[in-house]
A and B are shown apart, each in its own frame.
Chain A
Amino acid sequence: MSASTSTNRLSPPAAILRHAVLLATGALILVPFVWMASLSLKPPGEIFRASFSFWPAQFYGVENYTKALTEVPLPRYMGNGLVVCVLILGVQILVCAPCAYALAKLHFLGRDLLFGLVLVGLLLPHQVLSLPLFILGYQLGILNTYAALVFPYVVSPFGIFLFRQFFKTIPDDVVHAARLDGLSEIAIVWKIMVPMALPAVIAFSIFSVVSHWNDLFWPLIAVRDQSLMPPPLGIMAFKNEEAGNDYGPLMAASTLVVLPLLIAFLAAQKWFVEGLTGGAVK
């Protein structure tokens, strides 16, 4: 609202200044992305012959990307990332939505206590829990498996919180009507509440997938086998092996790791911004 009046008053020079500054800061922000993409297309000789040019004199993209995809198990890393993200998100929704429904729509002894637990869980940084979770994983004998990557995240206090907030906005009459139709409580969760709370589900899905696709800390602790590494861990292993001398393929691999989320973000910008900052705004 404020903007409309500001816009009317923004004189042409001021408008140009606005664009100039924002284009400059935007360009600075993009430099690492551009440099990464640029190096991923250059042959080693050109990379080490320092130059400003973005576009390679000799196009070496095919070689670099082929190397990144074949000499390193990058497809495997990306597959692992996908499997882990999908598993985590699926289980989180399965576990969190019913609990959120109970907190939002049912009356029962201990509800406030349970909500308190969720809020305290929201406050705990996950890295602090890593040591006991590592020991738990060790006792269960699941370290260095997909299960190790997934189990700490099967419940998300943020997910419960977000779903509860959204479920509360759905009128009680909807729930009563569903009960009169003979739906069980669990059926109400999956057939009524979750479909109606689709915006919250999408926002949470983006939050969850982005956090776990990008997570380095826990995978570093939980798995050792290359065949189980999610993208960040895999690409770090690649960097350490190459000792920084094979920049082209390393940059190609980095580009490929960043690309899926980047494309998704550009396609659904509004949802991403909401999903990733919703926790803070709400």
Chain B
Amino acid sequence: MKNKQHMPLFHVAKRASIKWYYAFLIRAAAILLALVAAGIITTVLTGLNPFKVFGALFTGAFGSKRKLWVLLRDIAVMLCIAIALTPAYKMRFWNIGGEGQVLIGALAAALTMILLGNVVPHAVLILIMTAASVLAGAVWGVIPALFKAKWNTNETLFTLMMNYVATQITAFFIIIFEVPKGAGQIGIINQSTNAGWFPALFGNQYLLTILIVLILTVMIFFYLKYSKHGYEISVVGESERTARYIGIKVERVIIRTMALSGAICGIAGLLLVGGINHTITTSLVGGRGFTAVMVAWLAKFNPFTMIATSFLIVFMQNGAGEISTAFGLNKAFSDIITGIILFFIIACEFFINYRIVWNRRERKEEM
């Protein structure tokens, strides 16, 4: 019996499968726990009533009709970047260059608006902008893919560095086209003519953007799940040796997939410029190229699940912004809250994949 103290209290075992409602329950519990933890932290650090603070989270996200549309618009952009990255990640190509690919697409759209704004009809202009953005994003995606395919360079570093190149190129063009001279920014492009601005649908200027992203999401879902290309992407991602064994040209798949990934990032850039901001700055993408990686991972690369994960993340970002303004706290505090909640949501995946087995020893009282 002297060994008893060595017996581990519990051990971890992998789950074969989990019922959907059980997984849902775990996630709900995680969010609840996250709110409790965030509440305690709020009270300790600021002395505020946590319920009021959480209330502000909701008013920040859904508080008015305008806020609601902004929320939907931001979800659309996040979702667009996430589905753009998905084919690359399915192929195990660690594309963290979404930021740059979106920005370069946005730059292409902005330059087209500036240069051709008063030259061609509006409809033609939007078509040219689309082509320019898609092409620019695709090129930005293909460059690291080419190097990976030909010389097996590390795509993580390569795509990361391409972000900085994109930022600097954008900065360069901003100075060239700055309005007024010396302002260091471009300002709203074609404000008087609205040339290259996406038309409002049913009186709403964001609706078109949202619809485009939804259509893209459905297309990517079918592309990945049911097309021959999608199948090749999965095989290459799971095992390059298997891919070669059955005669898939791995290099070609890598380049093709990154062209697609970059092109959709380019579309996200187009939406930001043509559909939403009508201007370009170096911080236009604002880190969403990175956040989208998390959105895609959390959704396990299922485009439809990404609607939910991008909602979750955008909701918290927009809501947390309200907390800092409403209570006069600085921006860092809302980041703390967002961080805590995300931590719990990601950590709960462990309990979905594994179960904890408590070791109980039957008591042998009769002995």
The finding on whether chains A and B are genuine partners in a shared complex, rather than unrelated, reads: no
B residues lining the A interface (CB < 8 Å): none
